Amino acid sequence: MIRCIYSPFTDIYFHLAAEEYLLKQGNEDIFMLWQDTPSVVIGKHQRLRSEVDQEWAEREQVHIARRFSGGGAVYHDLGNVNLTFIETTPRLPEFVTYLQRTLDFLNSMGLMATGGERLGIYLNGLKISGSAQCLYKDRVLYHCTLLYDTDLTALHQALNPAPMVDDETLSSVYAVPSVRSEVTNIRRHLSAGTVTDFKEKAFQYFSKSQSVSAFTKEEIEAVNQLREEKYIQKEWIYSCLLYTSPSPRDISGS
């Protein structure tokens, strides 16, 4: 039985903390659907200044966050829907399984979406979803975005940093660059429906015959503590968490 959570919150730092908490502190299989107010999120091993127009984001009050999984930079707003799958697995998971679940949902809505080799999802050759994955002991987390009615002008602005001169002091370490793709909104390919309609259909699809529950009071307290101690801290967001070679524990499809 999978525990399904329809998050009532719209705070990127809370949701990133919730994902880490549910992955590391729990043993339940989880599906979570969530959204955020305008935010740009970079992968654990990315250089912020290489991925984000930081001045624009700060001027427009777009939150800047770093997640604990690998992968590339993404833009969130209330036109974007996020799906998270957390499961216990006795062996190295095949992440394409989670991609296929999302494709099956989109296909059920009449969308002829296809998957890519980096576990992205495309409609007519344009990207509508990116994903990232990570492992913790015998637990796996897979999360993806679904661009439903996102402000694509803001997305392009946020993820369009000014060119910079390479820092020679960092030449011996590795930062994961985002792979740029042309994107589109799912709503353009459906005859009608708001993002709320889309969220409801997605949650109904993934929660069918499963256990639906909200965050408990204790979970909210623990997640908010992790949010305060880690995810809103500049040391976490702005530090270059670089490494000498790609880690097999942080895998990206973004």
Separation of alpha carbons 64 and 157, rounded Å: 13
Contacts of 30 (CB under 8 A, 6+ apart): 2, 3, 4, 5, 22, 84, 85, 86, 87
Mean pLDDT, all residues of the chain: 89
**pTM metric for this prediction:** 0.89
| Rounded Cα distance, 229 and 237, in Å | 12
Mean pLDDT of 160-174: 57
What tens digit of pLDDT does each residue of 18-63 get? 999 999 998 999 999 999 999 999 999 898 988 999 999 999 999 9
pLDDT at 119: 84
For residue 139, name the pLDDT band (cuts at 50, 70, 90): very high
Question: Which residue type is seen at 10?
Answer: T
CA torsion sign, 77 to 78 to 81 to 82? positive
Q: What is the mean pLDDT of residues 177-193?
A: 84
Check if the beta carbon of residue 1 is closer than 8 Å to that of residue 29. Answer: yes
pLDDT for res 192: 76
